[in-house]
Amino acid sequence: MSHSKPPPLVEGVDYYMDGSRFVFTAAYHQKRGYCCNSKCRHCPFARDAAPFASMQLVGLSSKPPRRTG
């Protein structure tokens, strides 16, 4: 199976520059297809829709165990 390179990003379509920072557009995020939960400026997805945004750790307590003895 051959792996092809993803198409190059196009400035003004996939991203724009804000000083020295890349800012991804909503079009880029929609092509990517999911929310990375990084609070992107133009994220078209509901933040709660990210699969890991609602994960809970089960069986762990926020309090340290009590020592007896």
Q: Alpha-carbon distance 6 to 34, whole Å?
A: 16
Residue spans per domain, the chain: 8-69
φ/ψ of 65, rounded to 5, equals: -65, 145
Better pLDDT: 23 or 61: 23
pLDDT tens for each residue of 2-47: 678 888 999 999 999 999 999 999 999 999 998 888 889 999 987 6
Looking at residue 2, its pLDDT comes to: 65
3-state secondary structure (DSSP) of residue 47: helix
Is it the case that residue 54 has pLDDT exceeding 90? no
**Do residues 26 and 43 lie in contact, with contact meaning Cβ atoms separated by under 8 Å?**
yes
Residue with tokens 């992107």: 40
